[in-house]
């Protein structure tokens, strides 16, 4: 009786952007309730005329219809009223049967529940309940979702002919699906219109005009693969599952994300999300085209020695599992992977897929050779995440490359954290002189592993960061505590203070980015630079409401002071040098303006490319690489300044020009009051940029693999290769300092143990 007096159905939980835009839903049944006043009268009239002409006259059971169904054995129409169908939708399961006796018992139960519904609810409440629970085509439940899916209209905006299409589907959802069977749907629509004439809801003249019109759909189904931010919604779903387990409904049961109709309001800015996805599409399409011209990719030689990865992928595929369940031997299953077959695969064309013929084995190689990316945008002051792109295409590549569980070598993007620590502990200022000399950490070896890019000279700390000098960075690490490996230990402690969750081992090479940290964690650590020393946790949820709009929880920024204002401001000023004169200066070619600070990063063998940049209002970070580290550029195209930075540039040029994004390009980094004078920094300091500094070998490869030149280039337009802007000659390569001993005599840097699987 409680259920009948308070009927409910499984409701989809809805995800909203910061401006109220619906981003997506979590559901078992795609259903969202709507009130009676928000349903078009044409829908109500079409439903009553077609499904239950005497709805307003009976008390749950239509005696005339029941007698007709009994006499003609259902051939002249059924006996179910709207109230009985509502009872079935709400309180019965698995009631589809051809057994005449069993179906008769089920009808009796429907009738009993229907009478009780009529006793407890008004006619308006019953018809609303029915329309909110009935199923339409394409796994859509409820009139609101049906209206939005097939016509992109709220149900109160639906006209007569559209109402007839929707109600016509109720007889046989698949048969009368206007998307799949337009002819049958048109005939059924006209039948519903005739029923509306018969019941005096419209005139014959109106019906004649309406029946001549074609069905004009505006179809768009919002599912996990469609809509904005699919990677974000996937990660959000995991967070919400945890929340649901920890929070109870009034009856003591935990909330259910897929049934309880929660309303989840997020911090996503739809315009920024669009620009972020467009930036990823534009640059990654160009980058993949460039990558595919690489000889080892064209010939397939890149897979030599890595065939085990392809074998593992075969055995993990649905094809292998399905054939195994059918009883085929492993050998027979494997043979099917070398037989050509028709399939759809991802492609960087307008449809993002193409039809082709290839072997399943080749399709695995084809898919794995796509470069991937992670791109995240947030407000560094309050932590609100504004955009999240976890990969190149959610339909074909579900793995998210932003979240905290996806770790990659961070390369030189970690250097600002070390430099800020050095300033924080009163040992350095941006104008402090540092030595660009390879450092010996005793039993932990030399850092970097080679002295190739060490100039052997002196420079300011700001110059060392602007040009990503590895030897100078190792010098700074050692100055934190010259005793053995104490400097590295202090740095790992500082990373924990920055709320980096990853357990980073205290090897000296971490100063050059040999450790693996997620983009999500790096973004959080960087918030302290524009945040005036305060580290803020990224925040994706603003508030959660129940199905009735009651607020269940509101979320506030989680801030923690890590740096003093002077250290944060000084580091930000140095990082402006990266953009003004250093490795990130190519950013200006993308039409950006204002005060921008950032850092590029490139790891051994160009396996990982990074760029994290920020303004006083916005922080955005990019990672680019292959899912397996051996899938990499063998040229300078794999550097952070060329693989990752362009995504940031494409995004910010659009976002900063859009008033809806609220970015003030004239805003400046705020100088702390305790600093009596402006900080004057000479980023060049008469320093000649050296080649290969950022992607230099730190113990796993040779620096020859990723030598970097300093040519300026234009922004790629329409996927055209970058071309030099001027004919300025490239700087000469630095000469190596004379060696006083052989490479064999030098202690090697000790790196963290490599993880299996290439992650």
DSSP code per residue over 719-735: TPPP-BSS-PPPPPPPP
23 domain residue, yes or no: no
Pairwise CA distance, residues 628 & 509, whole Å: 22
- Flag residues of the chain having pLDDT under 70: 1-9, 63, 65-79, 92-100, 103-104, 222-225, 676, 678, 682-759
Proportion of the chain in helix, strand, coil states, percent, rounded to 5? 40, 15, 45
Residue with tokens 């010996």: 440
At residue 689, the pLDDT reads 55
At residue 63, the pLDDT reads 64
Pairwise CA distance, residues 418 & 474, whole Å: 10
Residues 632-672 have pLDDT tens digits of: 998 888 899 999 999 999 999 999 999 999 999 999 999 99
At residue 395, the pLDDT reads 92
At residue 405, the pLDDT reads 95
At residue 452, the pLDDT reads 84
At what angle are helices 160-168 and 204-211 packed, to 10 degrees?
Answer: 70
Residue with tokens 């399961």: 93
Residues 565-590 have pLDDT tens digits of: 999 999 999 999 999 999 999 999 99
Pairwise CA distance, residues 636 & 466, whole Å: 18
479 domain residue, yes or no: yes
Pairwise CA distance, residues 178 & 13, whole Å: 27
CB 521 within 8 A of CB 538: no
State the pTM of this model.
0.81
Number of CB atoms found within 10 A of residue 454's CB = 25
Q: Residue 172: which H helix or E strand, with range?
A: none
492 domain residue, yes or no: yes
67 domain residue, yes or no: yes
Chain-centroid distance, C-alpha 282: 16
Residues 21-62 have pLDDT tens digits of: 999 999 887 788 899 999 999 999 999 999 988 899 888 787
At residue 715, the pLDDT reads 33
319 domain residue, yes or no: no
Beta strands 22-26; 446-447: pairing state = unpaired
Distances (CA, A) of 150 to 117, 177, 269: 30, 10, 26
Q: Which of 173, 205, 223 lies at the terminal end of a domain, its last residue?
A: 223
Instruction: Give the bridge partners for 266, in sequence order.
Output: 541
Q: Which residue range forms the structural domain that includes residue 688?
A: 377-391+409-542+555-625+669-758
Q: Which of 223, 239, 261 lies at the terminal end of a domain, its last residue?
A: 223
At residue 695, the pLDDT reads 59
258 domain residue, yes or no: no
Pairwise CA distance, residues 20 & 438, whole Å: 55
CATH number of domain containing 124: 1.10.3810.10
At residue 712, the pLDDT reads 27
3-state secondary structure of 281: helix
Instruction: Give the bridge partners for 730, in sequence order.
Output: none
Distances (CA, A) of 733 to 469, 508, 640, 708, 709: 15, 27, 20, 10, 9
370 domain residue, yes or no: no
Q: What's the token pair of residue 483?
A: 């005793």
Residue with tokens 């050059």: 512
Q: Which of 170, 191, 223 lies at the terminal end of a domain, its last residue?
A: 223
Number of domains within the chain: 2
CB 371 within 8 A of CB 630: no
CATH number of domain containing 510: 3.40.710.10
CA angle 178, 183, 188 (to 5 degrees): 75
At residue 605, the pLDDT reads 85
Ramachandran class of 611: left when φ > 0, alpha when ψ lies in -120 to 50, beta otherwise: beta
Pairwise CA distance, residues 147 & 126, whole Å: 19
Pairwise CA distance, residues 537 & 524, whole Å: 6
632 domain residue, yes or no: no
């Amino acid at each position: 009786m409680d259920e009948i007096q308070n009927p409910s159905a499984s409701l989809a939980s809805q995800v909203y952007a910061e401006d109220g835009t619906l981003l997506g839903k979590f559901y078992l049944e795609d259903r969202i309730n709507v009130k009676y006043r928000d349903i078009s009268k044409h829908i109500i009239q079409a439903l009553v005329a077609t499904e239950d002409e005497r709805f307003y006259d009976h008390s749950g059971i239509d005696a005339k219809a029941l007698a007709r169904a009994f006499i003609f054995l259902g051939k002249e129409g059924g006996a179910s009223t709207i109230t009985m169908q509502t009872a079935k939708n709400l309180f019965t399961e698995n009631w589809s049967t051809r057994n005449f006796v069993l179906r008769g018992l089920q009808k009796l139960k429907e009738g009993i529940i229907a009478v009780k519904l009529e006793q407890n609810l008004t006619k308006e409440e019953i018809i609303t309940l029915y329309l909110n629970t009935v199923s339409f085509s394409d796994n859509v439940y409820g009139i609101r979702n049906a209206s939005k899916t097939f016509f992109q209209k709220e149900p109160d905006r639906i006209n007569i002919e559209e109402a007839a299409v929707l109600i016509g589907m109720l007889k046989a959802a698949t048969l009368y699906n206007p998307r799949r069977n337009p002819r049958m749907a048109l005939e059924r629509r006209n039948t519903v219109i005739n029923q509306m004439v018969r019941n005096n809801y419209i005139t014959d003249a109106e019906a004649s005009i309406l029946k001549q019109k074609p069905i004009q759909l505006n179809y768009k189904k919002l599912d996990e693969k469609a809509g904005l931010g699919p990677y974000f919604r996937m990660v959000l779903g995991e967070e919400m599952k945890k929340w649901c387990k920890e929070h109870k409904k009034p009856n003591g049961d935990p909330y259910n994300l897929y049934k309880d109709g929660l309303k989840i309001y997020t911090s996503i800015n739809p315009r920024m999300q669009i620009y972020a996805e467009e930036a990823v599409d534009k640059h990654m399409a160009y980058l993949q085209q460039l990558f595919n011209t690489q000889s080892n990719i064209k010939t397939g030689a890149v897979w030599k020695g890595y065939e085990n990865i392809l074998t593992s992928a075969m055995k993990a595929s649905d094809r292998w599992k399905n054939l195994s369940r059918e009883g085929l031997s492993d050998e027979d299953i494997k043979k099917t992977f070398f037989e050509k077959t028709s399939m759809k695969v991802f492609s960087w064309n307008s449809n993002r897929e193409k039809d082709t013929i290839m072997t399943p084995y080749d399709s695995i190689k084809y898919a794995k050779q796509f470069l991937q990316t992670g791109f995240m945008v947030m407000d560094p002051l309050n932590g609100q995440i504004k955009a999240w792109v976890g990969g190149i295409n959610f339909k074909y590549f579900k793995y998210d490359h932003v979240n905290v569980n996806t770790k990659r070598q961070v390369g030189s993007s970690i250097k600002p954290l070390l430099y800020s620590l050095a300033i924080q502990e009163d040992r350095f200022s941006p104008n402090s002189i540092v030595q660009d000399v390879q450092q010996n950490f005793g039993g932990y070896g030399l850092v970097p592993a080679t002295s190739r890019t060490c100039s052997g000279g002196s420079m300011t700390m700001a110059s060392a960061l602007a040009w990503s000098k590895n030897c100078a960075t190792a010098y700074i690490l050692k100055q934190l505590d010259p005793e053995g490996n104490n400097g590295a230990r202090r740095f790992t402690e500082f990373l924990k203070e920055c709320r980096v969750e990853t357990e980073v081992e205290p090897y000296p090479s971490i100063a050059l980015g040999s450790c693996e940290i997620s983009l999500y964690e790096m973004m959080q650590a960087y918030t302290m630079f524009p945040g005036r020393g305060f580290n803020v946790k990224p925040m994706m949820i603003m508030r959660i409401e129940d199905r009735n709009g009651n607020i269940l929880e509101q979320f506030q920024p989680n801030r923690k002071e890590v740096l003093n204002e002077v250290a944060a401001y000084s580091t930000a000023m140095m990082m402006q040098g990266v953009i003004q004169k250093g490795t990130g200066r190519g950013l200006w070619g993308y039409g950006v303006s204002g005060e921008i600070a950032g850092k590029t990063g490139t790891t051994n063998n160009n396996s990982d490319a990074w760029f994290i940049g920020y303004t006083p209002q916005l922080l955005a970070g990019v990672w680019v690489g292959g899912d397996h580290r051996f899938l990499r550029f063998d040229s300078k195209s794999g550097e952070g300044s060329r693989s990752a930075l362009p995504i940031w540039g494409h995004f910010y040029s659009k976002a900063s020009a859009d008033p809806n994004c609220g970015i003030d390009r004239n805003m400046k980094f705020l100088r702390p009051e305790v600093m009596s004078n402006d900080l004057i920094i000479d980023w060049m300091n008469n320093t000649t940029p050296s080649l290969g500094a950022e992607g230099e070998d730190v113990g796993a490869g040779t620096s020859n693999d990723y030598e970097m030149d300093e040519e300026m280039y234009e922004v790629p337009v329409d996927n055209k290769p970058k071309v030099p802007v001027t004919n300025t000659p490239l700087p000469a390569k630095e000469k190596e300092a004379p060696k006083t001993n052989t490479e064999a005599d030098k202690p090697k840097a000790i790196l963290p143990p490599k993880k299996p699987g290439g992650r």
